[in-house]
Structure 1
Amino acid sequence: MTKKDSIKVVKEKLASITSQTDSYFRALQEDDRKGVQKLLATWEINQIKQAQIKEKAEMILAYEHAAQAKGYRMIAGIDEVGRGPLAGPVVAAAVILPKDFELLEIDDSKKLSEKKRDMFYDLILEQAVSVGIGIIDEKIIDKINIYEATKEAMKLAVAKLSFPPDYLLIDAMKLESLPIPQESIIKGDAKSVSIASASIIAKVTRDRLMKSFDTKYPGYGFANNAGYGTKEHLEGLEKLGPCPIHRETFAPVKKYLN
């Protein structure tokens, strides 16, 4: 560079550079201005982050690629939310993604902020081949137990898919009654993009349901705790007793039943 670019121009040009071998980048390394060196340091940090995101994206596609290599095409990821709460339903989602799904920074729903979950929720609904949601309420949970209710929610989610899946990737469970080839993956919501997507759909769906219940049944903090046994929730139980959506077979609730 015979004439040095302004810091603003350097910033704009750096945004389009992807390699340190770029001639402009090498020239900037000789520029002793603090502003330029700061921009170079930021660029390098961003490149590392992007490489990590790409590596993570490739890793969480491994199960899908393995299933595709076996000839499967309609691969559904399945996950649930709501096994632990004292109130409300258990919600499961089944998601079939297209091959060219835009990964971005998708991950286990519990690791994402509410804002990011909502953003990915919209993205998944927009781009997915099909999404199915299964909801099993507290009455059935009390009748058949939470483990069986979770299975029923998952089966219902699969049944609601617009296209029948030919392979299932399931987070830490097996659906023996479904005659579909399947794979149970421990911590699957962090290892499979399809399961991670199902986790996000299930969590956003359930969180929104619990916020609506907070309006109907105030005093337990459902909008904040989604029915989990937080201090606020337990204090509400002690003061008000159980409401219609509480799980009566769960010990912290059972002791307040008449």
Structure 2
Amino acid sequence: MSTQPSTLPRPPRAVIRRTAGNWALQSALDRRGLGPVAGVDEAGRGACAGPLVIASCVLRPGDASRLDGLTDSKLLTPAARDRMFDAVVARALDYAVVVVPASEIDLIGVHVANIEGMRRAVARLTTHPGYVLVDGFRVPGLTAPSLPVVKGDKAAACVAAASVLAKVTRDRIMAELHQELPVYGFDVHKGYCTADHSAALAEHGPSDEHRWSYANVAAAARAHGMRPPRRVARSTAALNVVHNGEPSQSTASGARSGGARIQ
């Protein structure tokens, strides 16, 4: 038996540098036959009212110039987000949007709802992806190989597109809820735990559109002698109320572990 070292050729190693822009990662996957590449992201995880919205998106390779300015939806102005939303809807090879209501979040917890929503968003694509890029953390049970990307909504264009689809869809839902429940100011803070929202909760108590599994909502309900309108399963994630869209320390550290990093 030969003891000579193997001389089998190895595939070239792909080095993705941040300076190459947010199309570089998915372009590298496409060039190696791993496309179509789908991006997945959510909006509303840190809110204490309204739904969680998850989107998946498959962009056309080479569409960077037609989607100039595509980046993390939180970095865009509302007007720029609306324009980019229209552009992504018009240009995307495929996309899907999943809306998870507050009642489902209360029943299974926000993290489980997020994971389930991402699975649904990928499964609803009519174009089956060869690879899936997810913002921040690993999602088991997807129908294609996947990779969590740290700050994926900034690093990968398809994830940024998904973030725009999710954010604009959710903002529009919250604007509609404001028409039904104007006392909370959903049109301004979109259900996040701002000072104005907290003051409205303290004055009026929570509505059916609030997430009753969240500690601040439960406390406001108790102060008004209100009982949950539905079954609520308390979870550790829900008790660590997220303020203004910023994750708690434990959530943030979890999202940072195990993801792809762009050099």
Q: TM-score, normalised by structure 1?
A: 0.76
- 1:211 aligned partner: 175
- 2:38 aligned partner: 76
Structure with the bigger RCO (C-alpha within 8 Å, sep 6+) is 2
Q: What SS is found at the alignment partner of 1:124?
A: helix
Alignment equivalent of 1:65, drawn from 21, 27, 34: 27
Which of structure 1's runs of 4+ aligned residues deviate more than 6 A?
none
Change (3 A) 1:63 1:202: same
- 1:160 aligned partner: 124
- 1:106 aligned partner: 70
- Give me the whole-angstrom Cα distance separating, in 2, the residues matched to 1:128 and 1:56: 23
- 1:95 aligned partner: 57
**CA drift at 1:69:** 2.8
Contact 1:80 1:93 (8 Å CA) reproduced: yes
- Give me the whole-angstrom Cα distance separating, in 2, the residues matched to 1:210 and 1:156: 22
User: Per-residue displacement from partner, 1:48-97 (whole Å, max 9, x unpaired)?
Assistant: xxxxxxx9894211210221132122110110011111101111110000
- 1:244 aligned partner: 208
Looking at secondary structure, tell me which structure has more helix per residue.
1
User: Per-residue displacement from partner, 1:190-234 (whole Å, max 9, x unpaired)?
Assistant: 100000010001000000000000111111110000000112211
- Give me the whole-angstrom Cα distance separating, in 2, the residues matched to 1:205 and 1:122: 11
Q: What SS is found at the alignment partner of 1:135?
A: strand
- Give me the whole-angstrom Cα distance separating, in 2, the residues matched to 1:159 and 1:245: 27
Alignment equivalent of 2:108, drawn from 134, 138, 144: 144
Alignment equivalent of 1:135, drawn from 80, 99, 104: 99
Over aligned residue pairs, what C-alpha RMSD do you find? Answer: 1.5
- Give me the whole-angstrom Cα distance separating, in 1, the residues matched to 2:18 and 2:140: 30
Asked if 1:115 is matched to 2:79, the reply is yes
Structure with higher Rg: it is 1
Equivalenced residues, count: 204
- Give me the whole-angstrom Cα distance separating, in 2, the residues matched to 1:190 and 1:159: 24
Amino acid at match of 2:97: I
Amino acid at match of 2:52: V
**CA drift at 1:253:** 0.3
Q: What SS is found at the alignment partner of 1:213?
A: helix
- Give me the whole-angstrom Cα distance separating, in 1, the residues matched to 2:145 and 2:156: 16
- 1:254 aligned partner: 218
Change (3 A) 1:95 1:57: farther
Q: What SS is found at the alignment partner of 1:256?
A: helix
Contact 1:134 1:155 (8 Å CA) reproduced: no
**CA drift at 1:179:** 3.6
Amino acid at match of 1:106: L
- 1:169 aligned partner: 133
Amino acid at match of 1:86: C
Contact 1:168 1:181 (8 Å CA) reproduced: yes
Q: What SS is found at the alignment partner of 1:255?
A: helix
The gaps in structure 1 that reach 5 residues or longer are 1-54
Q: What SS is found at the alignment partner of 2:80?
A: helix
Q: What SS is found at the alignment partner of 2:142?
A: coil
Aligned-residue identity in percent: 34
Q: TM-score, normalised by structure 2?
A: 0.75
Amino acid at match of 2:32: K
Structure 1 range deviating more: 136-145 or 201-210: 136-145
